[in-house]
Amino acid sequence: MYLAIIIIAIALIISCLRVVPQATEYVIERLGKYQTTWSAGLHVLIPVIDRVAKKVTLKEQVLDSPPQPVITKDNVTMQIDTVVYFKVFDANLFTYGAVNPISALSNLTATTLRNIVGELELDDTLTSRDTINGKMTEILDCATDQWGIKVNRVELKNIIPPSEIQNAMEKQMKAERDRRETLLEAEGHKAAVITRAEGDKQAMILAAEGERDARIARAEGEAKAILLAKKAEADGLAALKAAGADEAVLELKKYEALISMSNGTASKIIIPTDAVQMTKANVLFSETTGLGDATEPAPKAPAPEKKDPCCD
């Protein structure tokens, strides 16, 4: 008898114990009225009087909405589906704020998406994902505070325009790519022509500089050669003067100079009168003295043979 009572008491006590897991909250009602919210840990529930009204998880949840038709500002109907990331921050508001808060969040997401996309044209909708995501996150987060829900972010998963719009977009994209290809080819050809012209210009400049340097080098060489010749001639004259050469030697040097001048083709030499007079005087002097006469004397006549008197 006592054993049975003890067993019943232990079973009753065990049935009153509740263990709340981590990241979970229990909403407790007493006699049908909200009493408290249990967090993670061990709690005791009063039988018959208290009851667990709702078990709420505090983990981040994902609401994946199916594709829905949305009309843009330029009357294009597209299929768009969204993904909402949210978490419950207040189990009491989540339990008593709405009959079905998850369904309410799904419907609110659909209407908000229609309102935002309805203000945009097709091209803006396709290129403004971040803007749409930011606006929807702000609106849903503000609207779901009374339900105890915190909306962390909203993402547009797919934007599917009508098939004819897709075909037009593909043609437009192909035309844009062809245009870019043509521009790139033209720019490449232009760059090649400019580079080739620059190369030709540099080559001509270098050739002209080389020709100029060669002419300068040749001119400097000729100038040095003339300078050396004149210097040698001056040195020779200085040597003759230092050796005490007389007027006759100097006159011979003048003649040698005249001979060298007459070696050229079709050379004409104009001899001054004083030079002619000196030449005549030198010729008379050479004929008189025999100096400078290069003509060999005539050979002597052979002597007549003498007859042998003994043989006659």
pLDDT in tens, 202-218: 999 998 988 888 889 88
- Going by the DSSP 8-state scheme, the letter that residue 302 receives in this structure is P
Question: Long-range contact list for 79-83, CB < 8 A, 24+ apart?
Answer: 79/158, 79/159, 79/160, 80/113, 80/117, 80/156, 80/158, 80/159, 80/160, 81/156, 81/157, 81/158, 82/109, 82/113, 82/136, 82/154, 82/155, 82/156, 82/157, 83/154, 83/155, 83/157
Query: pTM for the full model?
Result: 0.55
Chunked into runs of 10 residues, the chain (312 residues) has average pLDDT values of: 79 84 93 91 88 92 91 90 94 92 93 92 87 94 93 91 83 86 89 90 90 89 85 74 63 63 56 54 51 51 54 46
∠288-290-292 over CA atoms, to 5°? 120
303 phi and psi angles, rounded to 5 deg:
-70, 145
pLDDT of residue 291: 47
Q: Which residue has the tokens 């080819």?
A: 185
